[in-house]
Amino acid sequence: MKVLISDKMDARCVEILQENSGIEVDVQTGLDEAELVDIIGEYDALIVRSGTQVTPSVLEAAHKLKVIGRAGAGVDNIDTAAATRGGIIVMNTPGGNSVSTAEHSFAMIMALARNIPQGTASLKNGRWERSQLTGVEMRGKTIGILGLGKVGSEVALRANAFGMKVLAYDPVVSSEVAETFGAQLSEPEEIYEAADFITVHLPLIEQTRHMISDAQMTSCKQGVFLINCARGGIIDEAALLRNLESGQVAGAALDVFEEEPPTGSQVLAHDCVICTPHLGASTVEAQKSVALQIAAQVGDVLMGRVIRNAINAPSVEPEIYAKMRPYLELAERLGRLQAQLSEGRLERVTVEYHGDVTYPTSVMTSAVLQGIMSSVTGQPVNAVNAPVFAQERGVHVDELRSSEHEDYAALITVIYQTDKERRLLAGTLFGKSDPRLVRFDEYTFDAIPQGHMLFYVNRDIPGIIGHIGTAMGDHEINIAQMSCGRHKVGGSAFTILNVDGPVPQKVLDDVRSRDYISWAKYASL
């Protein structure tokens, strides 16, 4: 397996990858899009920072690519939607540079409050302008933090140390969590009205682009300070310039820009703007940390161990993944079997978890969809793109969970509904890792889901097992195991035969032709 590193990275990144048997690493930096398109087809993994643009054209040419690793938090240089469609995992390294970015943000706040860059420039130009460079204290001021994730929470802790009142907005953080960082959870409108300093720590997505524009700046206190060390485009730079010129905004500190590098930017030319060239994560410690982290994550994916910090796939910690792997295998087999046993166009999949299922169910549901979609699409399917394929086909996916079950410690049930029928298939684990099928529609039994399998429903009368066994023998198909179940005596019965080889269509037709057989299907795993 081959890994391409296309941006400058700490040397240990290569060493960590090469510690995995069978992984080769190439380092080629400064590639333009055409050059990357020409070579990306050779590689199983790509590791980038912010410099490499992973476009749809690059991804279309990446025939072998399994994973893209971003050494850093932001992934806006990667077309994640196109990667997902291609079944390519996109992962980042959240937290690896959070302290560095938080420290840089606070350094920018301090420099902005005390006019440090302006004072430096004045002195170097031979001027002594103390009266024109009077600053403001941090103590007693209100800081608004938009985004209380790993970076924003670190900023909050530092603001508390300076005696500031901290207001924070984050759509997925509870007030209880905010309080642990000394922050009061608030809506953006409340922050705009109350804050002396507003610092941005959100991702750049459609909902956050130009989140702070004319209307928001106008609603702020006159003389507010704005800081952006997150992603360019969250603050509308044209609106910022207008509000700097009117005096509504007293100053701005920018580490990121709508266009990088910001050639010819009028905002940068304003005397009340201080700026750095995207240095938030540019510390020796942070660059080493994210390089080591992404190398370990990519290595884990390529070696089939675990997925961590994925943007477009469920992530599970290694120790949890090791324990839940048998459940993932069971879930994927249930999906593959349902796709083979059912007739008609799939409309809805319902996955039910009963009993002591303590692991992340979203991961197992993705495994069920992987099994289904790999059987019905004819395309390469994995846990990344399986939900996409299901969505594109209009398949409704439901997930239900119950902590109780009378018969099994843990049970996974997959209900497969098409325009023609509804089928139920359930499985569990015997011990810690032995998968079993235990229910098909109304029938209960105990069967091993592996290899070649013949499923059939028959009238519950004497001699059926012998007749089918003879038929298999006549076609030289050896039966390895048989599992039976019935709903009631004299009604219908259900049987699964594990056989040593494929069941040809003529054999299946022979079984179906018998008047005591009402339904029969062949499936393989």
Q: Identify the band that residue 281 occupies on the pLDDT scale cut at 50, 70 and 90.
A: confident
pLDDT value, residue 74: 80
Q: Read off the tokens for 400.
A: 């239900």
Of 382, 368, 518, 326, the residue nearest 441 (C-alpha):
518
Q: Identify the band that residue 317 occupies on the pLDDT scale cut at 50, 70 and 90.
A: confident
Q: Which amino acid is at 487?
A: H
This prediction has a pTM of 0.66
DSSP character at residue 284: H
Q: Read off the tokens for 292.
A: 């080591």
DSSP strand pairing (346-355 vs 410-418): antiparallel
pLDDT value, residue 382: 84
- Listing from the earlier edge strand, what are the strands of the sheet with 165-169? 184-185, 165-169, 142-146, 197-200, 224-228, 249-254, 273-275
pLDDT value, residue 189: 96
Q: Identify the band that residue 25 occupies on the pLDDT scale cut at 50, 70 and 90.
A: very high
pLDDT value, residue 201: 95
The DSSP code sequence of 176-245 is HHHHHTT-EE--HHHHHHH-SEEEE-----TTTTT-BSHHHHHHSPTTEEEEE-S-TTSB-HHHHHHHHH
Is pLDDT at 76 greater than 90 in this prediction?
Answer: no
Is pLDDT at 324 greater than 80 in this prediction?
Answer: yes
The contacts of residue 96 (CB under 8 Å, 6+ apart) are 71, 72, 73, 286, 289, 290, 293, 294
Q: Identify the band that residue 437 occupies on the pLDDT scale cut at 50, 70 and 90.
A: very high
Cα 119 to Cα 128, 326, 457: the distances in Å are: 8, 64, 87
Is pLDDT at 445 greater than 90 in this prediction?
Answer: yes
Q: Identify the band that residue 523 occupies on the pLDDT scale cut at 50, 70 and 90.
A: very high
Is pLDDT at 319 greater than 80 in this prediction?
Answer: no
Average pLDDT taken over every residue of the chain: 93
Query: Which whole number is the average pLDDT over 229-248?
Result: 96
Q: Which residue in 24, 260, 343, 392 is the catalytic one?
A: 260
Q: Which residue in 49, 201, 231, 486 is the catalytic one?
A: 231
Active site residue 278: yes
Of 263, 285, 200, 281, the residue nearest 235 (C-alpha):
200
Active site residue 405: no
What are the start-end ranges of the H helices in 79-162? 80-85, 98-114, 116-124, 150-161
Is pLDDT at 154 greater than 80 in this prediction?
Answer: yes
pLDDT digits 0-9 by tens, 212-235: 999 999 999 999 999 999 999 999
pLDDT digits 0-9 by tens, 375-399: 887 777 888 888 988 988 899 999 9
Query: Which whole number is the average pLDDT over 292-298?
Result: 95
Active site residue 260: yes
Q: Which amino acid is at 70?
A: R
pLDDT value, residue 308: 86
Q: Which residue in 70, 278, 333, 486 is the catalytic one?
A: 278
Strand, helix or coil at 517? strand
pLDDT value, residue 77: 92
pLDDT value, residue 212: 97
Complete domains list, the chain, with CATH: 2-92+285-302 (3.40.50.720), 98-275 (3.40.50.720), 320-524 (3.30.1330.90)
8 Å CB contact between 176 and 203: no
